[in-house]
Amino acid sequence: MAEDSVPLAAPAVAAVAEAAAPRRRPRGPGLWAVLKYAALTLGALAMLLPFLDMVLGALRTPAERLARPPVYWPQDPQWGNFVRVFDELPMLRWTLNSLGVTLAITVLQCLTSAMAGYALAKFRFPARLAVFRFAVGAQMFPFFIFLIPWFFILRYFPLAGGNGWTGSGGAGFLGSYTALILPFAVSWYGIFLMRQFFLAIPDELIDAARIDGAGEFYIFFRIALPLVGSGLATLAIFVFLYHWNEVLWTLTVTRTAPDLQTLPVGIYLLRGAYENEATKSVQQAAIVISILPVIIVFLLLQRYYVASVTSGSVKG
């Protein structure tokens, strides 16, 4: 009986011994961690300084702008400069144009990139690798190389904007929202990015859905696409940020249609009339307003962006 009771008492003895053992106090962050976070904090503050200077510049009076030594913190903040922006400039129309065009391009690029990336990742067809290599190589060429070809394609597009069958007689798609959106409907970088995310989905999952009778569109929209939501959000952030700030192409195709000008183009055209010290604060107020939508979009999608960045470093 004594021998049989020893194994039963062993766990209790071990628990008592563990409780009696001195506990180590949790160690705080080491010196290297403190230095690392301090450096990152200083770097983040340095990145915020230009934006802070822009906000303070929008609040300065003309006298404070001309003061020597410079006045960095406004003594009498001119919040009315933000009101003047909407009173003196067509800011609402510019903002709505920017939102409409940028959102349309973002949706189109995310859709086309996801569909093409899924096809390159999960379908087997001739020249699949060649198409992927072409998509990678095409990223080396900046858009302005194709600016003139795109201009002539849209200008002489048959049966568009008063053009006849031969593409002459009218302005084509120039001076329309189609000209602002169509050239950016497909992104080679987006195709490459989404292909990499779709490759992480096991082929067995797709095959199981096909065995169960699911169609390809059902598999894509209901199974594959939700699994790459973080990648799609990352692409949406990149596309929105780039095209919200796009100037060159929009300036080219809207010279004859000022009602279609976007916010960056409108602010760019202010460089002559609002560059004196009396009105420069109004221009800076307009720039601050133009940055706010980008900040809002990033704050809404940042957790998906962080998830997409860290997903490649986690193995399981």
* Whether residues 284 and 161 fall in one domain: yes
Is residue 113 domain-resident? yes
> Which domain does 267 fall in, by range?
85-311
**Structurally, how many domains does the chain consist of?**
2
Give the DSSP H or E segment for 52.
helix 31-59
d(CA 190, CA 240): 12
Residues 201-232 pLDDT 10s: 999 999 999 999 989 999 999 999 999 988 99
- pLDDT at position 8 is 47
Position 22 scores a pLDDT of 57
The token duo for 124 is 């087997």
**DSSP 8-state symbol, 23:** P
Q: Report yes or no on 208 lying in a domain.
A: yes
**Same domain assignment for residues 55 and 191:** no
In a domain, 1, yes or no: no
Cβ partners under 8 Å of residue 112, min gap 6: 185, 186, 187, 190, 191
Asked whether residue 175 falls in the same domain as residue 229, the answer is yes
53 and 164 co-located in one domain: no
For the purposes of burial, counting CB atoms within 10 Å of the CB of 71, is it exposed (0-12), middle (13-18) or buried (19 or more)?
middle
Residue 14 lies in a domain: no
Query: 89 and 74: one domain?
Result: no
Closest CA to 180 of 89, 236, 248: 248
| Residue 277: predicted pLDDT | 65
Euclidean distance between CA atoms 235 and 54, whole angstroms: 28
Domain boundary among 48, 63, 78: 78
Residues of the chain with pLDDT under 50: 1-3, 5-6, 8, 313-316
Cα gap 67→39, rounded to integer Å: 34
Predicted pLDDT of residue 132: 86
Give the CA diameter of the chain: 109
Amino acid in position 311 = S
Domain check: are 162 and 269 in the same one? Answer: yes
